[in-house]
Amino acid sequence: MEYRTLELNLTSAKVLKDVNRPSWEEEDLFSEMGLYVVVSLPGNNEEFKTPVDRSGGTDPEWNFPIKFTFEESLLQQDRLTLQMKLCYDHHTETHIIGEVHVSLSQLVDLNTPENLFFNHVSYLLREQSSGCPKGILDFFYKFGEKFTSRVKNFPTPSPGARST
């Protein structure tokens, strides 16, 4: 079975101002609560969370590296979608400001074979329920080379052994 890695570096976000809230109030809220991103690749059973940025207000920065390993066949079938949620915690609840869903196939298409360095992309953060724009999320990414993982051999049954 072939595998590949995806290296990410979540660098920053820019949250759009809420026109119904004074800008100073929004800055205070996000500085007090702090913003972070939760990143997952469904089907991979891994989830990463950036550190909380309490000083960036509506322009948080993380510079947070992440590495996923996935099956190449799932990439070829366009069955892998990177999910990133910009969040803050208030009291005991997690609030999602906006999220980004990116097909890994799309990132592969943007990646040129001769590009040995990280690619920079920006994606629009959208509110889950309404789809309204909530900000922009910036990150760098790079795909690793394909590799094969050995399948573990099962023990050979001894002569005369029966399966149950």
Lowest mean pLDDT among 31-40, 46-55, 69-78, 101-110: 31-40
Do 38 and 66 form a contact (C-beta atoms < 8 A)? no
Degrees (nearest 5) of the Cα angle 134, 139, 140?
160
CA–CA distance, 127 with 108 (Å, rounded to integer): 25
Residues 102-152 have pLDDT tens digits of 999 999 888 766 656 889 999 999 998 999 999 999 999 999 888 997 555
pTM given for the model: 0.81
Residue 19: its pLDDT value, please? 44
Give the pLDDT band of residue 32 (cuts 50, 70, 90): low
The mean predicted confidence, pLDDT, of the chain is: 84
Question: Domain 2-148 belongs to what topology?
Answer: Immunoglobulin-like (2.60.40)
Residue 54 tokens, joined: 């309490």
User: Where are the domains positioned within the chain?
Assistant: 2-148
Strand-pair category, 93-103 with 133-143: unpaired
